[in-house]
Amino acid sequence: MLEMYKKVVFENYVNFKGRARRKEFWMFFLVNVIISTVLSVVTGLISPSLVIIANIYSLAVLLPGIGVAVRRMQDINKEWWYILIPFYNIYLCTIEGDKGSNQYGADPKN
């Protein structure tokens, strides 16, 4: 789980090319939600003025989050702007990617 998160944040920080598997997308999402929640609760309990730490974290993972979402759309052979459609993009992130290569690159499962 953490390997996928590190892959998205450190290896593909602003990478918008290629494809991302469902597992990569959802593991990043899960770890990001956990870290954000813990930071918000802990900083809120210690001192409300420390909430800026949670905000800095959110800004730091904004680009990797957009990048993995764009790569996820490309895995199912959709263009990047599909991430802007509420609810439909969640459905698209749950379906299996194209088998084999598509116009965005090789199958990430291979």
Q: Look at residue 110 and tell me whether its pLDDT is greater than 80.
A: no
Q: Does residue 78 have a pLDDT over 90?
A: yes
Token pair of 22 as six digits: 């469902």
Q: What is the pTM of this model?
A: 0.87
Domain ranges within the chain, ordered by starting residue? 2-94
**With 80 as the cut, is the pLDDT of residue 39 above it?**
yes
Residue with token string 């379906």: 95
Q: What spatial distance separates the first Cα and last Cα of the chain, rounded to whole Å?
A: 19
Contacts of 54 (CB under 8 A, 6+ apart): 36, 39, 40, 43
Per-residue DSSP letter, 105: B
* φ, ψ for residue 58, nearest 5 deg: -60, -40
Say what the pLDDT of residue 19 is: 93
Higher-confidence residue: 94 or 49? 94
**For residue range 9-22, what is the model confidence (pLDDT) as tens digits?**
888 888 999 999 99
pLDDT of 8 reads 87
